[in-house]
Amino acid sequence: MSDGQDALTGWADPVPTALLVLADGTVLEGSGFGATGAAEAEVCFNTAMTGYEEILTDPSYSGQIVTFTFPHIGNVGVNDQDEETLGATENGVRGVVLHAAITAPSNHRAKAALGDWLAARGIIGIGGIDTRALTAVIRESGMPNAVIAHDPQGRFDREALKARAAAFRGMQGTDLVPDVTSAERSDWDETVWSLASGFGRQDAPKHRVVAIDYGIKRNILRLLADAGCAVTVVPASASAEDIMALEPDGVFLSNGPGDPAETARYAGTVIREIVDRRVPTFGICLGHQLLALSLGAKTVKMHQGHHGANHPVKDQETGRVEIVSMNHGFAVDPGTLPPEAVETHVSLFDGTNCGISLSDRPAFSVQYHPEASPGPHDSHGLFRRFVGMIEADKASGKLRGAR
């Protein structure tokens, strides 16, 4: 980082106090903030202009370094209401890359400054980076493996960091769900936030839903509760017998990090048994991929992934286009779906699969995040669709004895 950059970015360290070292040996110099030390991870970029705290607490980012394309990150501080993590907080996003300096918080909800919050959570930050150029590299060459390092004195063994980045295994073939799932079963009744009253409580639920936690987000649980569900969260290691013992009216498959094919080694048989027993099932993101894998489909690693809050998705059944939030580096290969799995949604950016529905059993899933907080909210109706599926199943009473 040259002195000429300081006026533009606001970072003013006389020597680099942070490095982003890519697996190909490229070294980006900048100013460090947040936690000190070094961490290896995959580098992605996120195009959202709001919701940086929700992004940085999304367990789906476990094992990744997030580059924000929006330059003003941290200006509204952080608070304890916008966090999305439900389980362990120490195994989430590994680092953050920014262009402009973090300014003092300016928001009535702020409880702390972003830099202090990152340090408390063990997340390393590097600022003063040309994030547009880094984003272009990711678009052209794919999401690189890297090491992010921060030392206030600027003392780095660059060759050791290069070797560490080159040796990092990356996301493919890695199951990260055990790092972020809940340790034990728990109940959830908190509903969505409103400016007038904050969070509410669901005190008259109509349906019982079991949510399998592969790295679930809090706002998913709030929207399930808001839709009239009493929600029980179970760890990713829960067996089909464990889940069915709770007598669910519906089962939810959550988002999460890592290679879905690895998680499916143990989750796939559980999901298949639940679906085969005709329990209404709804999956989001990793949950979507796991549902497809449980049916015999395959997933593929994406070139640059989808990370942002402005992705257009077409509903193939209605023709409606929704603007949605996405965060995934793997996708379902639609050519491997079985005949009973109908492709319901596609990305209008690149045509990748974004949803399926089963024609012979009550189950559906989407690749994107309909619960997105702070937004967009185009797809909130999917939670009502899930509840409608539960109600139809209850009304029919089909195969209830088989459960």
**Segment 164-221, tens digit of pLDDT:** 999 999 999 999 999 999 999 999 999 998 888 899 999 999 999 999 999 999 999 9
Fold entry, domain 3-167? Glucose Oxidase; domain 1 (3.50.30)
Give the pLDDT of residue 216: 97
Q: What is the mean pLDDT of residues 370-381?
A: 94
pLDDT at 257 over 50: yes
Measured CA to CA, the distance from residue 395 to residue 300 in angstroms comes to: 39
- For residue 10, name the pLDDT band (cuts at 50, 70, 90): confident
pLDDT at 97 over 90: yes
Q: What percent of the chain has pLDDT over 70?
A: 96
The two three-digit tokens of residue 146, written as one number? 């890297």
Alpha carbon of residue 45 to chain centroid: 13
Measured CA to CA, the distance from residue 166 to residue 25 in angstroms comes to: 8
pLDDT at 398 over 80: no
Alpha carbon of residue 357 to chain centroid: 22
Crossing angle (nearest 10°) for helices 260-276 and 286-294: 70
Q: What is the 3-state secondary structure (H, E, C) of 288-336?
A: HHHHHHHCCCCEEEEEEEEEEEEEEEEECCCCCEEEEEEEEEEEECHHH
Give the pLDDT of residue 195: 81
pLDDT digits (tens, 9 = 90+) for 46-76: 999 999 999 999 999 999 999 999 999 999 9
Alpha helix ranges (H) inside 47-96: 52-56
- Contact of 202 with 225, CB cutoff 8 Å: yes
Cα torsion angle, 175, 328, 250, 80, sign = positive
CATH topology identical between 3-167 and 177-402:
no
Give the pLDDT of residue 5: 45
> Would you call 246 exposed, middle or buried from its count of C-beta atoms within 10 A (0-12, 13-18, 19+)?
middle
Fold entry, domain 177-402? Rossmann fold (3.40.50)
Give domain limits for the chain.
3-167, 177-402
Give the pLDDT of residue 14: 86
Output the average pLDDT for the chain.
Answer: 94
Residue listed under structure tokens 């008259």: 204
Q: What percent of the chain has pLDDT over 90?
A: 91
Give the pLDDT of residue 12: 73
Give the pLDDT of residue 401: 43
Distances 10 to 13, 139, 151, 347, 378 between C-alpha atoms, Å:
10, 26, 19, 37, 36
**380 Cβ contact partners less than 8 Å away, ≥ 6 residues apart:** 223, 370, 371
Q: What is the mean pLDDT of residues 133-154?
A: 97
pTM exceeding 0.85:
yes
Written as one string, the DSSP assignment of 390-402 is: HHHHHHH-TTGGG
Residue listed under structure tokens 């829960």: 238
Kindly provide the residue ranges of all beta strands, DSSP E only, lying in 57-172, ordered along the sequence. Answer: 64-68, 95-97, 124-127, 145-150
Q: What is the mean pLDDT of residues 115-134?
A: 96
Give the pLDDT of residue 397: 78
Give the residue numbers marked as catalytic. 285, 369, 371
Q: What is the mean pLDDT of residues 259-282?
A: 98
pLDDT at 2 over 50: no
